[in-house]
Amino acid sequence: MPELDRPATHAASVPWWNDRRVRSVLYQIAVVGGVVALAAYLISNTLANLESRNIATGFGFLGREAGFGVSESPIPYSPADSYFTVLVVGLLNTLKVSIIGIVLATIIGTLFGIARLSRNWLVARFAALYVEGLRNIPVLLQLFFWYSLITEALPGQREALNPLPGVFLSARGLKLPEPVWQTTHTLMLIAFVAAIAGTWALARWARLRRERTGQLFPTVKAGAALILGLPLLVWLLGGAPTAMDMPELKGFNFVGGLTVTPEFTALLVGLVLYTGTFIAEIVRGGILAVAHGQTEAGLALGLSRAQVLRLVVLPQALRVIIPPLTSQYLNLTKNSSLAVAIGYPDLVSVANTAINQTGQAVEGIAVIMAVYLTVSLSISTFMNWYNRRIALQVSR
C-alpha cells in the first residue's frame, strides 16, 4: 500500500514508538535479527557436533576416490573415479530421466486432456478413468508397482520375451539393437540440427510474410518434411548404413545392444503416467478456458477447423496452460529424486551413498539442494521466457 505523506506537524505529534516508519524499521531488524540468531545458533551447534564426532568439514571429499559402482551411466565411469565424477553421473541420470519424462508426459497429457473433451462418450470415459485413477495414488506407490512388475513378473534372461527380432524383454530390463555408430550418423545429427534451425527460420519468415501480406504458408508440413527428410537424405547419400549391434544371449547374460534397465523403465513409466494425469487436466482446463465465440469467430472468418484450432484456439489456450505446466515439469524433475527408493542411480541416490560412506551429510545435502535449485530455476526461467513470448503483446 502506498503510504500517504503526512504533514510534518502531524509527524511531530506522534510519539516515536507509534511512528509507522520507526516501527517498520524495528520490525525488520527484529525479524532479520531473529533469523540470523537462529542460523548462528544452528551453525554453532552443528560445528560443535561435527567436531565432537570427528567429521571433517568442507568439500575436500569430492576429489577422493568414490569406490562404489553405479548400475548405469551416460558417461564412462568406474569405482576408481572421484566423488565429483559420481555426482556428475547422478546428475546426468537425473537429467536424462527428467527430460525424456517431460517430453513423454507432455504428449500423453495432451492426448488424454483432449480425449477427455472428446465428443465420443467412450473415449471421454476412458480418459477420465485414467486421469482420476492414477492421479489419486501416490507416485512412489506407482513406482514400486512398476518396478515389482518388471523385476518379478517378467521372465529371467534365459527365457526373455522376444516380441520383435533383436528386442528382448526380461526381468533384467529391455534389450534393443543399437546402430553401430558411423560417420554418416554424425552427419545425420548435424543435418537434424540444421533442419530444426531451418524450420525455425522458415516459421519466422512465414509469420512475417503472413503479417505483411496475409498469405498463409504450410509451415507445419514444410517443417516436418525438413526435419524428417534432411537426415533421411543424408542417410541415403551416406550409403544407407544398416549395421546393427544385436543383443545376443551368451551364457546367463546378454552381450551387445542397447540396455534399458528395469530401474530406469519403472521410474520413467511411473513419472510419465503420474505427471501425465496432471498435464491432461491442465490441457483440458486450458482448452475450456478459450471462449466458444473464438471458435465461431474463426469459422466465420472462413478458416478451416484445423486452422481455427492452430491459429485461434491453441495460442489462447497455451497462455492458460503454460504457467501450471511449468510447475508440473518442475514436479516431475523433483519427483525423479524418488529414484532412490527403487535403486536408479540419480543424483539423490548417489549423493546418499556418498553421505553414508563419508559421513559428510551437510555437504552432501547442500550439493543435492544446490543442484535442484539450479535445475528448478533454469526450467522456470526458460518457461517464463517462453510465457512472455506468447503472452498478449500490444504491439509486435
Partner 1 sequence: MSRPFEETPDQIFAREEEPSEGHHLPPKPHRRSVLWVLGAWARKNLFSGVLNTLLTLFCLWLLWETLPPLISWAITGAVWQGDPAACRAAEGACWAFVEDKHRFILFGIYPFDEHWRPLLAMALFVGGLAVSCYPPFWRAWLAGLWAVLLPVCAVLMWGGVFGLTFVSNDQWGGLPLTLILSVVGMVLSFPLAILLALGRRSDLPAIRAVCVGFIEFVRGVPLVSVLFMASVMFPLFLPDGVTIDKLLRAQVGIILFTAAYLAEAVRGGLQAVPRGQYEAADALGLGYWQKMGLIILPQALKISIPPLVNQFISMFKDTSLVIIIGLFDLLTTAKTALSDPQWRPFFVESYTFVALIYWGFCFFMSRYSQFLERKLETGHRRT
Residues of the shown chain interacting with partner 1 in the complex, contacts defined by CB under 8 A: 1, 3, 24, 27-29, 31-32, 35, 42, 45-46, 48-50, 52, 118-123, 126, 132-133, 135-141, 144-145, 148-149, 152, 334-335, 337-338, 340-341, 348, 352, 355, 361-362, 365, 368-369, 372-373, 376-377
The residue (of 88 and 139) whose beta carbon lies closer to partner 1 is 139
Shortest distance, position 115 Cβ to partner 1, whole Å = 9
Closer Cβ to partner 1, 247 or 262, answer by number:
262
Rg, C-alpha atoms of the chain: 28
Which one, 104 or 338, has the nearer CB to partner 1? Answer: 338
CB of residue 121 to partner 1, shortest distance in Å: 4
Rounded Cα gap, residues 352 and 345, in angstroms: 10
The C-alpha cell at 15 is 510519539
CB closer to partner 1, 4 vs 75: 4
- CA–CA separation, 180 and 242 (whole Å): 8
CB of 372 to partner 1, least distance (A): 5
Nearer to partner 1, 121 or 252 (CB): 121
- Report how far residue 113's alpha carbon sits from residue 29's, in angstroms, rounded to the nearest whole number: 50
Rounded least distance, CB 256 to partner 1, Å: 32
The Cα 327–Cα 137 span in angstroms is 19
Residue 132 Cβ, how far from partner 1 at the closest point, in Å? 7
Nearer to partner 1, 73 or 337 (CB): 337
Name the H helices within 69-182. 83-116, 121-135, 139-148
Question: By the 8 A CB rule, do 316 and 299 touch?
Answer: no
Q: Is the dihedral of CA 302, 303, 309, 310 positive or negative?
A: negative
Q: Which amino acid is at 227?
A: I
**What is d(CA 214, CA 383) in angstroms, rounded to the nearest whole number?**
30
C-alpha cell at 140: 512412489
**Whole-number minimum distance, CB 228 to partner 1, in Å?**
24
